[in-house]
Amino acid sequence: MSSLPTQPTEAGRPARQVLEPLWLFAPNRDTQGGSAWWLDGPGPEGAGGWLIDCPAYTEANLELLRRRGEGRILLTSREGHGRVRRFQEALGWPVLVQEQEAYLLPGVQGLQPFGAELALAPGLRILWTPGPTPGASVLLAQGGALGEMAVLFCGRLLSPVAEGQAAPLRHRRSFHWGRWLRSLERLRGWLPPPGPDTPPLWLASGAGLGALRGEALIPHGWDLLQRLDLEALALQQPA
């Protein structure tokens, strides 16, 4: 029997609906002000959707997630774990985490580690992108409830740095800068290239979004990734 509280101790701020199937939670102090997202699934009223990283464990957030009926939790890095055990016990949802960081969650039930890549469903794919942390990963969602658009949930791989802009930000908690840049190079080749049948790509970062000045998503994701100067970034020092 778990000793964790079954109910949150604070009301909390409600999540913000960014698109019809997409919600952004308020910054979470348990994850250094990081951002968590909910993406509706194909079932009735969004059932079968995805919680991407953990928001604060509050009444408002738990109520929204319970209304979805069912879902799964994806952790894009150890910096997004937050109070995942409490959410898992309250909701009963499985938790997907890259195998390099599964050991950090020994008390979490329904843990489902994955390796280098994982296809979850049509239009939903995960890629392991180590660098920010050993088990960092990204989720590409396209089509389905998103319609004629694609969203890359990039965790801390890319952080907002200005309106409409994102970049990798090296800091003293970073796992391995060289692997981080190699992950970005691999991501460029993994994403579908632009074309007449390719939906526009938007970025949904798991970092703090203050630099976006009220916006939630970053447009032109493919172009932004292609413009990154990885050779120059290799010289960047930790903040």
How far, in Å, CA of 57 to CA of 49, rounded?
18
How far, in Å, CA of 217 to CA of 165, rounded?
10
Burial zone of 95 (CB within 10 Å; 0-12 exposed, 13-18 middle, 19+ buried): buried
pLDDT band at 191 (very low <50, low <70, confident <90, very high): very high
HSE at residue 115, side-chain half, CA atoms within 13 A, is 1
Judge whether residue 47 has pLDDT over 80. no
Q: pLDDT tens-digit profile of 125-171?
A: 999 999 999 999 999 999 888 989 999 999 999 999 999 999 999 98
Which is nearest to 139 in space by CA: 90, 89, 206?
206
Q: What is the pLDDT of residue 44?
A: 60
* 8-state DSSP, 25: P
The strand order across the sheet containing 137-142 reads: 117-121, 124-128, 137-142, 150-155, 201-205
What is the reported pTM?
0.94
Average pLDDT over residues 188-208: 93
How far, in Å, CA of 160 to CA of 219, rounded?
12
How far, in Å, CA of 85 to CA of 76, rounded?
15
